[in-house]
């Protein structure tokens, strides 16, 4: 089974996000970057499928040089090779352009299943996975919490939560699956894994190598324009309901909701 995982780097939640002076972007200098948590589920699922069926896992990242760090982390978790799409023209690209670049990079390598995160925790778009499937002309299943590849490796059955219910969907392979929290518990990289990761191949590809036209990427080519970024309003202090027993707490809570918040 040939499995591809697309991987994005996002600011770690421990980083303090600060707006850039232009009011439309964030300051990137002092951020700690990590693998998008949803992509980690993708890596883990890919490894589990490989452990069951054999084959190889290729991780494709996109962005500046620092993204290799996250690709190496995936390699240390057990992926087999890495590809970094890196080109100065990428800076400022939107989700559709990102998907286009990814499609160009994966189309020439054999694949049976492709994982992406269901969205990046930074931009919260949720576009790249489906758009990648469109560019490749294959089906996609988004926001997936369970993946079962058939014994013959020709199709996949997925669970997708909808409105408190579970939708079970099936698709022939190859297909794109976008991973949702709950799909699995991603493993930590082990020390032997870190040792081995060093020897695994990690290729860097520019637009020229992928035959892409730089003018279709970057800030200028965006379909989605950011008009303004504002920090969320400061949260007001919460209130802890006191009481000696759960019953008295519940009573007090009901009173507060009724009399102060006036919601019930």
Partner 1 sequence: MVDHFRVNRNDIFFILKNQLNYGSLCSLERYQDLKEEMLDMVVNEAITMARELVDPLQEIGEKWGVRFEKGKVFCPPEFKEAFKHFGENGWIGLARNTAYGGQGFPHMMRIVVNDLMYGACQAFNMAPSLTHGAAHLIENFAVENLKKLFVPKMYGGEWAGTMCLTEPDAGSNLANTRTTAYPAGDHYKIKGSKIFISWGDHDLTENIVHLILARMEGAPEGVKGISLFIVPKIKVNPDGSLGEPNDVLCERVEEKLGLHASPTCELNFGGNNGCVGFLCGLANRGLPHMFQMMNAARINTAVSGMTLAGTAYLNALAYAKARIQGQDVAGRKPGYVPIIDHPDVRRMLLWMKAMVDGMRSMIYTGAFWSDLAWELPAGSEERTHYHNLLDFITPIMKAYCSHMGFRVCEIALQCLGGYGYTRDYPIEQYLRDAKIMSLYEGTNGIQSIDLMGRKMRGSKGALFKAFRDELERFCITHEHHPELGKEVSILSVVLEKLTKVALKMAERMNSDPLQWASYTFPALMCFGDVTMSWRLLDLAIIAQGITDEGQGNPFHSGKIMQASYFVGTMLPLTLARLETCMRPGREIIEMSNQAF
Q: Which one, 73 or 180, has the nearer CB to partner 1?
A: 73
Give least dist CB 65 to partner 1, A: 11
How far apart CA 52 and CA 111 sit, in angstroms, is 16
- Residue 15 or 56 having the CB closest to partner 1: 15
**Nearest Cα to Cα of residue 128 among 219, 5, 34:** 5
52, two tokens:
């069951």
With a CB cutoff of 8 Å and minimum separation 6, the contacts of 31 are 11, 12, 15, 17
The first and second tokens of residue 119, run together, are: 């969205």
DSSP string, 7-22: E-EEE-TTSPP-B-TT
From the CB of 54, what's the least distance to partner 1, in Å? Answer: 22
Q: Which is nearer to partner 1, 170 or 203 (CB)?
A: 203
Q: How far apart are CA 11 and CA 96, in angstroms?
A: 21
Paired strand residues for 148: 157
- Residue 147 C-beta: closest distance to partner 1, Å: 23
Shortest reach from residue 187's CB to partner 1, in Å: 9
Minimum distance from residue 14 beta carbon to partner 1 (Å):
7
What does the binding site for partner 1 look like in residue numbers (CB under 8 A)? 14, 29-30, 32, 69, 72-73, 76, 188-195, 197-198
Nearer to partner 1, 11 or 214 (CB): 11
Q: Indicate the residue among 14 and 228 with the shorter CB distance to partner 1.
A: 14
CA atoms of 72 and 2, how far apart (whole Å)? 19
């Amino acid at each position: 089974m040939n499995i591809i995982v697309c991987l994005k780097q996002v600011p770690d939640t421990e980083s303090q996000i600060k707006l850039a002076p232009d009011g439309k972007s964030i300051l990137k200098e002092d951020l700690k970057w990590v693998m998008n948590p949803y992509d980690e589920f993708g890596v883990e699922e890919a490894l589990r499928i490989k452990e069951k069926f054999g084959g190889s896992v290729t991780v494709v990242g996109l962005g500046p040089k620092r993204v290799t760090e996250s690709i190496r982390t995936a390699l240390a978790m057990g992926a087999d090779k890495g590809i970094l799409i890196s080109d100065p023209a990428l800076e400022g690209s939107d989700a559709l352009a990102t998907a286009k670049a990814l499609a160009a990079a994966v189309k020439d390598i054999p694949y049976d299943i492709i994982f992406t995160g269901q969205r990046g925790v930074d931009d919260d778009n949720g576009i790249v996975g489906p758009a990648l499937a469109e560019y490749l002309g294959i089906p996609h299943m988004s926001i997936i919490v369970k993946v079962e590849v058939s014994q013959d490796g020709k199709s996949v059955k997925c669970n997708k939560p909808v409105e408190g219910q579970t939708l079970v969907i099936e698709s022939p392979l190859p297909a794109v699956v976008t991973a949702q929290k709950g799909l699995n518990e991603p493993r930590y990289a082990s020390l032997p894994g870190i040792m081995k990761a060093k020897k695994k191949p990690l290729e860097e590809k520019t637009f020229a190598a992928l035959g892409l036209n730089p003018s279709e990427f970057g800030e200028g080519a965006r379909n989605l324009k950011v008009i303004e970024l504002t920090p969320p309003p400061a949260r007001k202090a919460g209130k802890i309901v006191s009481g000696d027993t759960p019953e008295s707490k519940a009573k007090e809570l009901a009173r507060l909701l009724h009399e102060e918040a006036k919601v019930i």
